[in-house]
Amino acid sequence: MVGSLVCGVWLDRTKTYKQTTLVVYIMTLVGMIVYAATLKQGKLWVVFITAGSLGFFMTGYLPLGFEFAAELTYPESEGTSSGLLNCSAQVFGIIFTICQGKIIDKFNTLAGNIFLCVFLLVGSIMTGLIKSDLRRQNANRLAKEEAEKRMLEQDYGATAQISSQPKTPPSQT
């Protein structure tokens, strides 16, 4: 939960969608590698620390992924992109759970964790290849600039009344 909160606040302040998503994805991969390596050490406290850091980055990725998807798919509804992401996460979760269970049964726990690490690496590479086209941010920036432009063009106060009075021709003065 802390990872979601920290990453969400960071993203709101910096608006660095792709960079933050990529860093958190890579840190999830690193956390998974460290977790897999420390599992056989027999020290429970080490496993808890590595599992905690892995969980920090894995849950931190959730708000980043949803927000980045909303940026990339704008003007589509945020609910549509979030729903599709959530659905695909559930489908992949089921597939990966079944596959990892079969790998662990046939080989060992380390092989199952390596399986997950491979797909985290593939996901990191795919995230790095995404074009960072922040459509929602660009639309918001353009709307703000347009509103500021209209406000500057609007004439408020005494100058509007003076300029609207008919001018007397110089010959009549």
10-residue stretch averages of pLDDT, the chain, 173 residues long: 88 88 93 91 89 91 86 86 91 95 94 94 92 81 84 67 58 59
3-state per-residue secondary structure call for the chain:
CHHHHHHHHHHHHHCCHHHHHHHHHHHHHHHHHHHHHHHHHCCHHHHHHHHHHHHHHHHHHHHHHHHHHHHHHCCCCHHHHHHHHHHHHHHHHHHHHHHHHHHHHHCCHHHHHHHHHHHHHHHHHHHHHCCCCCHHHHHHHHHHHHHHHHHHHCCCCHHHHHHHCCCCCHHHC
**pLDDT for the residue 125:** 94
- 3-46 tens-digit pLDDT: 888 988 998 898 888 899 999 999 999 999 999 999 888 888 99
